[in-house]
Amino acid sequence: MKKRKKRKKRQTNYLIGLAGSLLLLTVLLVVYQSGFLSGNGARPGGQSQAEEAGTAKKAGLGEEPGADGAEGTGSGQGIGNGTGSGQNAGNGAGGDAQEAGNGAGGDAQSAGNEGFGSGQGIGAGQDAEAGQGTGTGGTGSGQGIGNGTGSGQGTGTGGTGSPQALSAEELQEKVQAKLSSMSLEEKVAQLFLITPEALTGAGTVTQAGEATKAALEQYPVGGLIYFQGNIVSEQQVTDMIAKQQQFSQERIGLPLLISVDEEGGQVTRVASCANVDVPKFEDTAQIGASGDSSRAHASGQAIGSYLSRMGFNLDFAPVADTLTNPDNTVVKRRSYGSDPQTVAEMAAQNLKGLESQGVYGCIKHFPGHGATLGDTHNGYAYTDKSWEDLKASDLIPFQRCVAEGVSFVMVGHISLPQAIGDDVPASCSQTAIQGYLRGELGYQGIVLTDALNMGAIVDQYSSAQAAIKAFQAGSDMLLMPADFRSAYQGVLDAVNQGSISQERLNESVTRILKIKMQI
């Protein structure tokens, strides 16, 4: 009897347990079908985010669709400035969208369950590849930073990548760290921008080899300037510049400023080479006479494009001189004209064209060579205008470009007896540079002398005297002294003897480093 009761009790317990298990399985099945336990974020109805996004199309403006992704899960970010419609967790679009798991942004790349559809956008990515676009998802995490414009749903963008801009604090930290690591000799060498011939002591230089490397070891100069004799073909000059940059980086960890006078029209070094096939332009005076500033921009953009392709990063253009003396022959064909407002607009647009291609422009010849009698290439040249007279005309283009943030200003060897009170060339005058250019115009960029081997300088000063005088006046970089080694030693001695302070030297080197840290 007892045995039958125990057996019956065990059967009852078994049935209760079985019923409980069946109930639990039923609940789990219901939950699973509703989508709450789907491992890939499936939504009610069983369609995943990736599948939903798979039919989306992103409408936008751009250059190329992004690349296909692999299916999977992960997280992605899109960070940038842009406009776009739709922002939501999981499947949004817009330049400022941030998505976890899957996303699409005006100029962001995101990884995870990205949507399908070739997204395109406009933007400059910052230190990231801009445009990871079509795909059915991606595994891992992705990040894109940039400016983008787009609307709709989809993934990625086209666009052109550009180096990430450092914050002011980051740039200052890098500059100070580099400055503190440099020797006195290295700092002084950075002030000079010279020809390859002056650097190596060789004849016409058309390649960079052991002589260049050895010269840069001893004199890690700030930059080099090319003339037509240095240019044989596009491939030759590209290879030569690449080698020089390699040697400079190995020696001092800084790029060279590789410069040229490529104004277009009358003054060109690259376009004048018969073996180099690049666009050629009419004289600057003709562009100015047209009254169409878009032509000045177009010439700057085209010139900047081929210079950048070869490795140049600094063009001594545009000429910002207003031709107020009709008898002036120095800049007659090189000036945009006699109306200072026209010259200002043309010069500003030309600068923008150059800079759009990653090439710095340099306005010249402060405070204006268009009013002078004589040619500073040959000897003494001056204007009788007062500073007030210059402000009313010649200085207007310089004021405009300074206000718009030009990075380089070349000071001419023009004498200004009525404005300065003596015959000292502007390039060697503290009144002209510190008083007027930096003081009144508020210019904070690099001041560069005109070539120090010109008649207006060599007729009055030795190479060492000219370099010291120009630097004491406020110039940051010294262009083409007649005798580079003598000029270098002169400045070095002046610092050691105290006639040039360490603070003054650091001030100029800091300006140079700020530019180089952004190349």
d(CA 19, CA 12): 11
User: What pLDDT shows up at residue 10?
Assistant: 59
Phi and psi (nearest 5°) for 239? -65, -40
User: For the structural domain made of 168-516, what CATH number should be given?
Assistant: 3.20.20.300
User: What pLDDT shows up at residue 15?
Assistant: 60
User: What pLDDT shows up at residue 154?
Assistant: 35
CA angle (511 as vertex; 370, 454 as ends), nearest 5: 40
Strand bridging mode 58-60 / 140-152: antiparallel
The answer to whether 465 and 491 have CB atoms below 8 angstroms apart is no
User: What pLDDT shows up at residue 372?
Assistant: 81
Domain boundaries, the chain: 70-80+91-165, 168-516
Model confidence pLDDT, tens digit, residues 45-95: 333 333 333 333 333 333 333 333 333 333 333 333 333 333 333 333 333
| Number of CB atoms found within 10 A of residue 250's CB | 11
Give the residue ranges of the chain where pLDDT is below 50.
Answer: 1-5, 30-32, 34-163
The answer to whether 130 and 161 have CB atoms below 8 angstroms apart is yes
Distances (CA, A) of 333 to 110, 244, 285, 286: 53, 33, 5, 8
Paired tokens of 213: 């490397």
User: What pLDDT shows up at residue 301?
Assistant: 98
User: What pLDDT shows up at residue 203?
Assistant: 94
User: What pLDDT shows up at residue 16?
Assistant: 63
Element containing residue 140 per DSSP (H, E)? strand 140-152
| Number of CB atoms found within 10 A of residue 481's CB | 29
The answer to whether 402 and 442 have CB atoms below 8 angstroms apart is yes
The CA radius of gyration of the chain, in Å to the nearest whole number, is 33
User: What pLDDT shows up at residue 152?
Assistant: 34
User: What pLDDT shows up at residue 505?
Assistant: 98
User: What pLDDT shows up at residue 22?
Assistant: 66
